[in-house]
């Protein structure tokens, strides 16, 4: 942090491993963050000597050891860090000894792989590259699927005022299919199926980028060094592409 310019409050909270920048913006909007006892405006910068607190609790300026875990989320657990409002939240369920937060979301009624960390930088990289990395799901619906269903799901479905990107879809059972998404619209798979008059009865995420789901239901493990190296490599490439496209868009 520069002695003269400081850093924005949302970036500060992210770098301290408290939450992602997006989550920090929500905390600031809710006036739950203070700098030297005062509620800051969005974009306020934190100086080295400033005292930052969330809900009245001081945020340590000493960075903790980075944590990266893969968790097999059960149905019914909510991917939120707001333990005050949601009793079935992922943070209380895991009960990790240090502060962590989920990377992205997995619906309450869905199960499977979700990553958690205290590293705000990797959260930003992964979420920014959401249109370039694959997430694999195994989905069961309420009635028999056919070739037409698979073809339409793979070609794109109109939902949420857009059309979903083309994706890989493969039937693996009478009512079950595998789908690999490279975008993350709200309740995307469920909405896609509903458009075709199917209802999802089970949805399980089994892979995020290079990370497979390989732990028991309701348990977690640390990411391996090899997985982290590959993850950083993948997000680095996505980040370069993001900035390239952004630059072209400004021309």
C-alpha–C-alpha distance, residues 137 and 140, integer Å: 10
C-alpha–C-alpha distance, residues 30 and 39, integer Å: 10
φ/ψ (deg, to 5) at 193:
-65, -40
**What burial class does residue 205 get, using C-beta atoms within 10 Å of its C-beta: 0-12 exposed, 13-18 middle, 19+ buried?**
buried
* pTM, to two decimals: 0.75
Quick: pLDDT tens for 218-233: 999 999 999 999 988 8
DSSP-assigned letter for residue 2: -
Quick: pLDDT tens for 170-219: 999 999 999 999 888 899 999 999 999 999 999 999 999 999 999 999 99
What mean pLDDT do residues 131-150 have?
92
C-alpha–C-alpha distance, residues 3 and 191, integer Å: 49
Question: Which position has the higher pLDDT, 244 or 132?
Answer: 132
Q: What is the pLDDT of residue 115?
A: 95
User: Is the per-residue pLDDT at 242 higher than 60?
Assistant: no
C-alpha–C-alpha distance, residues 19 and 123, integer Å: 9
Query: Which tokens in the block code for residue 137?
Result: 């799901």
Q: Which of 28-37, 56-65, 239-248 has the highest mean pLDDT?
A: 28-37
- 212 bridge partner residues: 207
111 sits in the region (left: phi over 0; alpha: psi -120 to 50; else beta) called beta
Q: Is 77 helix (H, G, I), strand (E, B) or coil?
A: coil
C-alpha–C-alpha distance, residues 242 and 110, integer Å: 29
Name the band, by pLDDT with cuts 50, 70 and 90, for residue 251: very low
What mean pLDDT do residues 148-165 have?
96
Select from 136, 121, 137 the least CA-distant residue to 231: 121
% of the chain surpassing 90 pLDDT: 57
Give the residue numbers annotated as catalytic, written as ranges.
107
């Amino acid at each position: 942090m520069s002695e003269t310019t400081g850093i924005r409050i949302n970036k500060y909270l992210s770098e301290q491993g408290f939450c992602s920048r997006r989550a920090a913006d929500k905390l600031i909007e809710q006036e739950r963050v203070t700098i030297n006892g005062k509620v800051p405006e969005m974009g306020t910068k934190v100086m080295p000597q400033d005292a930052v607190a969330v809900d009245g609790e001081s945020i340590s300026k000493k960075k903790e050891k980075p944590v990266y875990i893969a968790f097999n989320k059960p149905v019914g657990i909510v991917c939120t860090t707001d333990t005050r409002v949601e009793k079935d939240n992922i943070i209380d369920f895991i009960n990790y000894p240090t502060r962590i937060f989920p990377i992205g979301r997995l619906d309450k009624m869905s199960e499977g792989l979700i990553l958690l960390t205290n590293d705000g930088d990797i959260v930003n990289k992964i979420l920014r590259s959401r249109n370039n990395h694959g997430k694999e799901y195994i989905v069961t619906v309420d009635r028999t699927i056919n070739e037409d269903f698979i073809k339409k799901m793979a070609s794109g479905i109109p939902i949420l005022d857009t059309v979903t990107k083309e994706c890989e879809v493969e039937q693996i059972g009478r009512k079950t299919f595998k789908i690999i998404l490279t975008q993350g619209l709200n309740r995307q798979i469920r909405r896609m199926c509903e458009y075709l008059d199917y209802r999802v009865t089970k949805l399980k995420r089994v892979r995020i980028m290079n990370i497979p789901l390989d732990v028991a239901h309701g348990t977690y493990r640390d990411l391996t060094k090899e997985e982290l190296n590959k993850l950083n490599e993948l997000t680095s490439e996505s980040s370069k592409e993001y900035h390239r496209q952004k630059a072209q868009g400004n021309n």
